[in-house]
Amino acid sequence: MTSATYHAPASVAEAVGLLSANPAAKVIAGGTDLIVQTRSGRVKPSAYVDIKRIAGVSGIRAFEGGFAIGAATPCTALLEDAALCAAWPGVIEAANLIGSVQVRNRATMGGNLCNASPAADSVPALIAAGATCVVAGPGGERVVPVSAIPASPGRTSLAPGEFVVEIRLPAQPANASDAYLRAIPRTEMDIAVAGAGVALVMEGGVCKSARVSLGAVAPTVLLVEAAGAALVGTTLDDAALDAMGEAVRAACKPIDDKRGTASYRTHTAAVLARRAALIARDRAGAKA
């Protein structure tokens, strides 16, 4: 009979030790993906390493003008940090689209990222925001862009024994903001058919920098540099938005599946990116 061991290490080093010792061990944060996958038989971990008891792996702190968010922080807890919500509303709204309130009381952005689903909601917003994460492992800690973590559907670039300790959002200049939108057939409890995160820095009504990231339109979440470039130097006029939409559609490499057709995903990604860009612009403007 199959059975699994449960560990609740108190330190990062202890967690790394447990993970290194057993390649079939799995990190568990909220468990909202992992438990479901275990019950369906998709994964069969022989041990769970619960990171929620590790000091510093839960909670939010100021870091270099931005924020460091512990990987085990549940999504609803993000809403309680007013400064974080003001600086990165797109990231916070993305994390709080996941599932339902009950799911979000457990679900984490770290789990969302490391589950490596191309449709993960918080990931396009994090990538658009230029977020990085701290990875701890047998060789110590390293800092990598969030976009470097997902490798393919369900697989990450993390080496054996490694796990994500925290996610860092950079300092947000004045006149800057972000937004995330997704398309789902229902209003909640659903998986994105397409998602778009946009982060903008505006200056005098002109876009100074822009990052556009797409979910559910390729094997991993995409950062579409050409889409961001189409906005830079513009006021986000129709021509610029059309050009961005063009770049978005060109970058999409979706599949047809039970959740949506490839052509629908491509079309909708561009619609969402356009709408998200306008929301981000208005948010940035409202701050000024």
Partner 1 sequence: MNDMSGKPQYRVVGTRPVRPDGIDKVTGKAVFSADHFVAGMIYGAILRSPHAHARIRSIDVSKAAALPGVQAVVTGADFPTLQSLEVELGEGGGNIVDFSRNCMARDKVYYDGHAVAAVAATTLAIATEALELITVDYEVLPHVTDLAAAMAPDAPILHDKIRTKGLDTPSDKPTNITMRYVKQHGDAAAGLARAKVVARGSFSSAPVHQGYLEPQACTVSYNADGQVLIWASSQGAFMIRTVTAQILNIPIADIRVTPLEIGGGFGGKTVIYLEPVAVLLSKKSGRPVRLAMSRSDVFRATGPAPGTVCDVAIGADENGILTGAEVIFSGSAGAFPGSGTHPAAICSLACYKIPDYYIEGQDVVTNMACTAAYRSPGAPPIIFAVESVIDELANTLGIDPIDFRLRNAVQEGDPSPTGTPFGPIGLKEILEAAKVHQHWSEPLGPNQGRGIAAGYWPNFGGQSTAAVSLTDDGTVIVTTGSPDIGGSRASMAMMAAEVIGLPYENVRAIVADTSSIGYSMLTGGSRTTFATGKAVVEAAEKVVDEMRSRAAQIWGVDGSEVEWIDGEASCTAPGKEARLTIKQIAGKTGMSVKGPISAESTVNPPDPGPGIAVQIVDVEVDPDTGTVTVLRVTALQDVGRAIHPSYVEGQMQGGVVQGIGWALNEGYVFNAKGQLDNAGFLDYRIPVASDLPMISTVMIEVPWPSHPFGVKGVGEAPICPPMGAVANAVSAATGVRMRHLPMSPDRILSDIAAAQ
Ligand X SMILES: Cc1cc2nc3c(=O)[nH]c(=O)nc-3n(C[C@H](O)[C@H](O)[C@H](O)COP(=O)(O)OP(=O)(O)OC[C@H]3O[C@@H](n4cnc5c(N)ncnc54)[C@H](O)[C@@H]3O)c2cc1C
Q: Which of 33, 81, 93, 178 binds ligand X (CB under 6 A)?
A: 33
167 binds ligand X (CB under 6 A): no
210 binds partner 1 (CB under 8 A): no
Choices 11-19, 227-235, 266-274, 278-286; region in contact with partner 1 by CB under 8 A: 266-274
Q: C-alpha distances in angstroms, 217 versus 8, 120, 130, 179?
A: 36, 11, 20, 18
Choices 17-25, 75-83, 143-151, 179-187; region in contact with partner 1 by CB under 8 A: 179-187
Q: Which is nearer to ligand X, 81 or 121 (CB)?
A: 121
Residues paired with residue 143 on neighbouring β-strands, in sequence order: 134
Partner from ligand X, partner 1, none binding residue 31, C-beta < 5-8 Å depending on class: ligand X
107 binds ligand X (CB under 6 A): yes
Contact (CB, 8 A) for 184 and 191: yes
Choices 107-115, 120-128, 210-218, 262-270; region in contact with partner 1 by CB under 8 A: 262-270
DSSP 183-221: E-SSSSS---SEEEEEEEEEETTEEEEEEEEEESSSSS-
DSSP state at residue 158: P
What is the spatial distance between Cα 209 and Cα 228, in angstroms, rounded to a whole number? 7
97 binds ligand X (CB under 6 A): yes
Residue type, 182: R
Total residues at the site for partner 1 (CB under 8 A)? Answer: 21
- The least distance separating ligand X from the CB of residue 241, rounded to whole angstroms, comes to 26
CB atoms within 10 A of CB 95: 28
Phi, psi of 9 (to 5 degrees): -65, 155
27 binds ligand X (CB under 6 A): yes
- The least distance separating partner 1 from the CB of residue 268, rounded to whole angstroms, comes to 5
- The least distance separating ligand X from the CB of residue 234, rounded to whole angstroms, comes to 31
41's CB contacts (< 8 A; 6+ apart) are: none
- The least distance separating ligand X from the CB of residue 98, rounded to whole angstroms, comes to 4
Beta strands 66-70; 60-63: pairing state: antiparallel
Choices 29-37, 220-228, 237-245, 270-278; region in contact with ligand X by CB under 6 A: 29-37
Task: Give the residues lining the site for partner 1 (CB under 8 A).
Answer: 1-2, 183, 185-191, 193, 258-261, 263-264, 267-268, 271-272
